[in-house]
Amino acid sequence: MLATLLGLLLLAPPPDTSWKHAGLRTRMVERQIAARGITSPAVLRAMRSVPRHRFVPGVAPELAYADRPLPIGHDQTISQPYIVARMTALVDPDASDRVLEIGTGSGYQAAVLSTIVDSVYTLEIIPELAATATKRLRRLGYDNVVVRNADGFEGWPSRAPFDAIVVTAAPEEIPPPLLDQLADGGRMIVPVGPTGGTQELTLVTKDDGDIARRTLAPVRFVPFLRPED
């Protein structure tokens, strides 16, 4: 009898800890995001719903929801939750929007956007990250995200124009193709500045074809990679 019970315990699935993860997300939103002035209901809902710990495998859930960036391999990182939330809020996403993301990474930012907008097109230059993110997003049910392994500098002309563009790596200058692919009335958020130094989080808007830029805060992002890098 004892052997039978032990066998059943070994075969049993692990306990459901979804309640624990939901609690970590709620605390993350309250302490790291809402407390710092992010008020968009859609963004707060998205940050509460997307399981961040699933985008940093091998990392303890408590650390996954901590107020810090985390390595995801290939010298890349997943941004801290507040930065993800702030960049999402700054492009003011709408349910009908088509969004371009440059720098898929683990897929977390794309997942957050996908819970708010109609569709997300995301480019990742590192093949291994693109492949892993594609599998992860499909497995988690984010079916309105399309991942492509490509040079983000060129954007995605065949899917343009985009209502919003989110760039998660830092170019020294904003790539002109991204400005061209931003829809009229659209918004782009991008960290701009030197590799290895401090960059400026920059909000770009387009109105009747005119481009306006506004710097918002100093930040540090991984460099914007090109094929020759």
Residues annotated as catalytic (active site), given as ranges: 79
Closest-CA residue to 154 (of 183, 182, 131, 176): 176
Helix (H) or strand (E) holding 125: none
Integer distance in angstroms from the first to the last C-alpha of the chain? 63
Q: Is 127 exposed, middle or buried (0-12, 13-18, 19+ CB in 10 A)?
A: exposed
**Paired tokens of 81:** 């939750």
Q: Cα separation of 132 and 135, whole Å?
A: 5
CB 82 within 8 A of CB 67: yes
Please say whether the dihedral angle defined by the alpha carbons of residues 25, 106, 158 and 141, taken in this order, is positive or negative: negative
Q: Cα separation of 29 and 44, whole Å?
A: 7
Closest-CA residue to 67 (of 107, 27, 97, 96): 27
**Paired tokens of 217:** 């805060």
CA–centroid distance for 113 within its chain = 7
Q: Cα separation of 1 and 212, whole Å?
A: 74
